[in-house]
Amino acid sequence: MIKIATAECFTHGKIGRELHALAQNYEGNFGMEYIQNSKQYGNFDYNELNVTCSLFIPTLEAVKKILNVKNPPKPDTLIKGIKVYNEEKDKTVSKIMAKAVKELSDCDIAIGTSAGIGRGGITILTNNFEITTTTDIYADLTDNNSSDLFKRSESGIKKTLEIILLLLNNNFDRINSLENVEIIKK
């Protein structure tokens, strides 16, 4: 069984929810919203997945208290406690969040997402790899433009799910072909 845990900000826990629906083979209204054909990524048996937790962590306080991160980077600004970083810091914070949820849950795959100003940061951690990327959509949380924020969130959800499914099927060539992806082998 492969255990997955997420600590999500701008993706609102939807990555974890989608992976849970895939792992449980749910259909209909309770089924997957973003994954249309999981078999197009390979023959991995998704019944071997278990989502141990999917956390929505938008605030700096939650990063500190729930994820037990002692000294997270200082945000560029706070909006009602919600952390706002630039794109480079979001990539760093997504790594911090993924590492924290991996440690807390003792999972096999951890996902962290964070987005303030820019394309946001997404990190997927395993025992062997650290994969960091961004969405394909720029948005600025301080502008409060719901359309742009929604498009960035959707892009982040879809790209993360695609990388996870490719990872589970050991298709690193396709992961490398995606825009703005960095893979570090540990």
Domain borders along the chain are: 2-185
- In angstroms, the CA 38 to CA 55 distance is 23
Residues 6+ apart with CB under 8 A from 150: none
What percent of the chain is predicted at pLDDT more than 70?
100
Residue 166 confidence (pLDDT) = 98
> pLDDT tens-digit profile of 171-184?
999 999 999 999 99
- In angstroms, the CA 95 to CA 113 distance is 8
- In angstroms, the CA 84 to CA 107 distance is 27
Residue range 2-185, CATH number? 3.90.950.20
Task: Using 70 as the pLDDT threshold, list the residues of the chain that sit under it.
Answer: none
Residue 138 confidence (pLDDT) = 98
| Owner of token pair 């792992």 | 23
Rounded to the nearest 5 degrees, what angle is found at the Cα of 115, between the Cα atoms of 113 and 120? 80
Residue 85 confidence (pLDDT) = 98
Residue 101 confidence (pLDDT) = 98
